[in-house]
Amino acid sequence: MIIYFSGTGNSEYTAKRIGKETGDETINLFEKIRNHDFSEISSENPWVVVTPTYAWRIPRIVQKWLEQTPLNGNKNIYFVMTCGENIGNAGKYLEKLCLKKKMNYSGCMEIVMPENYIALFSTPNEETALQIIDQAESVIDQAAICIKQGEVFPQADISFGDKIISGIVNEFFYPTMVHAKKFYTTDACISCGKCVSVCPLNNVHIENGKPAWGNHCTHCMACICRCPTEAIEYGKHSQGLPRYICKKDV
């Protein structure tokens, strides 16, 4: 069974493409995470967890969901992480998670996809994004073939720098950078409520016709990138940058 979390569509596309190749069922974790649903699920096929990379590890909300949710049936679990550049030493923490869950870690595949972190970095325009996705497809297909054949993913080389970014930098990043304090709306807001419905943490609500952000943001970038009128900004950084959503269909 393929389970995925996705803020702006890269991991959704990747999960569905793997599902098409392996013929496996694909489940979006959005509702489960939003509703704090940690009820057990079962699969006879290996588990495949597809997520974005947040500070060189899987998102903490997915880590928490996996820690709390019993995955019954098949004991093998693959991880596929989409990223803008690299996943660092994420695999080390996933191996630890598997040990805790008494499951067999079958490896972690890095898939370089378009950068979506518009709050801190530059997002690509549509043409460049499609080129990056085209290049990623052969790696996604390699992952699907490994899963189909029951082989573990090839192990990537890990540098000292990878250990630092997935370790101490990740620990520092969440408390200092991940918050919703810099989100605001411009006059382009039409009060449609989409930013409310796309937030996996229920962190956006409408106050006097305009969105307001709470304290549970995980920086998935769904609200800012999915707003139909591009009315959301994150400080000054997002001004003038293209909003990124994966436009490719499986």
Ligand X SMILES: Cc1cc2nc3c(=O)[nH]c(=O)nc-3n(C[C@H](O)[C@H](O)[C@H](O)COP(=O)(O)O)c2cc1C
- As a whole number of angstroms, the distance between CA 186 and CA 210 comes to 10
- As a whole number of angstroms, the distance between CA 103 and CA 50 comes to 17
Give the DSSP letter string of 144-200. Answer: HHHHHHTPPPPPPP--HHHHHIIIIIHHHHHHHH--STTEEE-TT-----HHHHT-T
Q: Is 37 in the site for ligand X (CB under 6 A)?
A: no
**Whose Cβ is closer to ligand SF4: residue 111's or residue 232's?**
232
**Whose Cβ is closer to ligand X: residue 52's or residue 107's?**
52
Q: What angle do CA 19, 28, 201 make, to 5 degrees?
A: 155
The set of residues, in sequence order, having a beta carbon less than 8 Å from that of 91 and lying 6+ positions away, is: 79, 105, 107, 108, 155, 156, 158
Q: Is 113 in the site for ligand SF4 (CB under 6 A)?
A: no
* Contact of 111 with 136, CB cutoff 8 Å: yes
Least distance CB 245 / ligand X (angstroms): 8
Q: Is 211 in the site for ligand X (CB under 6 A)?
A: no
Residue 223's binding partner out of ligand X, ligand SF4, none, with CB under 5 to 8 Å set by partner kind: ligand SF4
- Considering only 159, 229, 235, 250, the residue that binds ligand SF4 (CB under 6 A) is 229
Sole window of 48-56, 126-134, 190-198, 235-243 interacting with ligand X (rule: CB under 6 A): 48-56
Site residues for ligand X, window 51-70 (CB under 6 A)? 52-56
- Considering only 62, 87, 140, 232, the residue that binds ligand SF4 (CB under 6 A) is 232
Nearest to 60 by CA among 206, 174, 225: 174
**Whose Cβ is closer to ligand X: residue 156's or residue 206's?**
156
- As a whole number of angstroms, the distance between CA 25 and CA 192 comes to 32
Positions in the binding site for ligand X (CB under 6 A) = 6-11, 52-56, 82-86, 113, 115-117, 219, 221, 246
Positions in the binding site for ligand SF4 (CB under 6 A) = 180, 185, 189-195, 198-201, 203-204, 211, 213, 217-223, 227, 229, 231-232
